[in-house]
Structure formats: C-alpha cells, structure tokens
Homo-oligomer: A and B are copies of this chain.
Amino acid sequence: MTFVDDFKPQHFRLTAESDTFWRVTFDNPPVNVIGPEMMKDLKDLLTELEGNDTVNVVVFDSADPDFYLAHYDLAADPAIAEALPSPTGYAAWVDITVRISKLAAVTISAIRGIARGAGSEFVLATDIRFASREKAVLGQMEVGFTALPGGGAAGRLPALVGRGRAFEILLGGGDFDGEQAAEYGYVNRAIRDDQFVEFVDAYATRVSKWDHRVLGEIKDFINKYTRLADDEYPLHSDKFWGAAGLPGFQAISRQLFEAGLQTRSPIEYNLGEDIVEIAARNK
C-alpha cells in the first residue's frame, strides 16, 4: 500500500501520474476556500514529500475552472488550524507555505480560476506558476480588510515582480488577469487556456524524467540566493492576526458574508472590486 493509495484527503485529490510526477487537484466546493481540513491534509502531504526522494515534481491544479483557491476560510474557527501539528513552530498557514518552499520536489501551480489572498500566497510559495491566459485571476485583497497578507506575499512578491510592482499589487489590492500577471512576473507565463493543460503537463513530465539529485542541487542554489529567511514570515502572520482581531476587519468580513462570501455568488467573482465600497463604508 503506497502513500498515494492510502492517503484520503477531504478537499483535494492526490494522483500519481507516475512514480516521479504527482498531481494535487483542489476540490473544496463551492469556491475552494482554504479551510482547516484542507490545511490538515496539506500538512500530511508535506510530511510525506519531505521524506520522499522519488517524486520529482508536484503539480497543483483545481477541479473548479472558476476558482483555484478563493482565499482563506473566514468562516472556520482559526483555532482548529492552529491546533494542528506545526513542525516549523509557526502559525498554521506560515507552516504550510514555508514548508512548500523548501521541498526537494519541484512544485508547480497550474492556475485556472481565482487565486486571491491566501490562494495567491499558496502559488507564491511554490517554485513555478503557470496561468491560464483567459481564466486565471490573482490578487491580494487583504488591504481591503485592513490587514496585510499573513502568509508571506510581501516577502515573496519582490523576488518575482520587483519593488514597484510589489507595491502596486499589495497596496492596491486589485485583481490581475493571467496576461497582466505574466507581464509583471507574478506568474512565470500565461498560456492560452485551450493549450494550458498540455503545456503544464509537458513541462512537468519533462522534469519528472530528470535525475532527482540534480533538481535538489539546482533548487538549493536558487533558494540560497532568492529565498527570504523563514523567520520573516511569522512577523507577517502576527500582523495579519492582530488586524483580524480588530473591529474594522470583523465588520468588513461580516458585511462580505452578508453579501454572499464563500458561496458561489457574485461577491466571490468580483471581490477584488466589490471590497472597495465595503471597506470605504467601514472607515
């Protein structure tokens, strides 16, 4: 019985395309929020991958063409995720994103649909981001909640998009489609949606055929020169949770839930725009 056969995650599927190429498909209807059960299963997957010296590449995609990972689950009790084991000792979402960024396996986000907030932070923590030109939407709308992103966007974006565009993305909080995200380096490249799956799979299949050792050596050097020190990330998380406890964040969240947050509603599609009016109302 292999890990893949034995592992039964609740909100994503794990598929072994081969011994060296695994696929994780997010599937947490209605909009793929990142909740405590998904986080528990991601932590178990990370523990497996940290001890695995066969898997070369893991592709993270979504069963829902409209939502990649909508954002953090704001309806769940945060204490549930924080009670999970944390090998790094960091808060739950930081533990996951830091550990993803340190795997020996090459991690690829195959982004179709919306990836905002923690969804965007997830893809930023992986090594490579491919986006559907027509269907990908990325954004960090936390600023509209009166919070800075808690999972490290401010730490990871500058190494991808540079200083000026990191400011624009985080201070504006707006949406970036696949093409704009590629122009900024927020994603590696945008691929026409009708060629997207084929492109991603060809790249991952290629990587799956290389020598496992050399992939680790290459990753080690690039990480040495470009990865922020782990202990920066708890500083971001603490600021996020500090803001989340304030009345402003809570009032904005409540009004967003009244407008349909975390249901398959217009507010989830248009959150990047609609949050402005709700934020302004709560100043």
Contacts and interface: CB of A to CB of B under 8 A. Distances in A.
Interface of A: 106, 127-129, 142-144, 146-148, 154-155, 157-168, 170-174, 180, 182-183, 185, 187-189, 203, 206-207, 209-211, 213-215, 217-219, 221-222, 225-228, 232, 235-236, 239, 243, 248, 276, 279-280, 283
Contacts of A163: 159-160, 222, 226-227
**How many monomers of this protein are in the complex?**
3
A150 B119 CA distance: 36
Contacts of A157: 222
Contacts of A164: 127-129, 160, 185, 187-188
A209 B283 contact: yes
A115 to B, nearest CB: 14
Nearest to A57: B171
Nearest to A236: B221
B167 A128 contact: yes
**In the complex, the 10 A-B pairs of residues with the closest C-beta atoms, listed nearest first:** A163-B226, A146-B211, A154-B221, A209-B280, A159-B163, A127-B167, A160-B162, A158-B226, A148-B217, A170-B218
